[in-house]
Structure 1
């Protein structure tokens, strides 16, 4: 288990809720890693706050989802449909936002 370093403690329940939803939605194994964070963006034209989800399916397949809502407002309906999973592959390149 990882220890939280800073951040808002009121968000912990939301982070755990989103992690659980991602695991269920994408049928992840118990040992697959899921990281959920809330980020403050400073990009013109984008919301000030968003949720970033990174997860691994097996040891080599990493995926990234950016949801333009704070963690407190993210719901299961914000997750993309499962057939889009290949387009969510995180190759390590920075995204547009």
Structure 2
């Protein structure tokens, strides 16, 4: 476990160095390319966040209403019959 921690401490800087080195050799403006990618990523996040908030709110309402427990009560015996889950006694 300790060796894995030391390896990860070394791999990340080497990976960053390799990316910058490849950009230097390929005559690519690494920083500008990074900024463009970050800007595109933020646009994607802005597009996804409203959907994510809506889904999280819907799941929260379903959990609070007890819908998942009711669903588990309906499908639990069938799932136990085919060996997917073990029902408590």
TM-score category, normalised to shorter length? under 0.3
TM-score relative to the length of structure 2: 0.28
Greater fraction strand: 1
Greater fraction helix: 2
* Larger-gyration structure (1/2): 2
Q: Which has the higher contact order (CA 8 A, sep 6+)?
A: 1
TM-score relative to the length of structure 1: 0.26
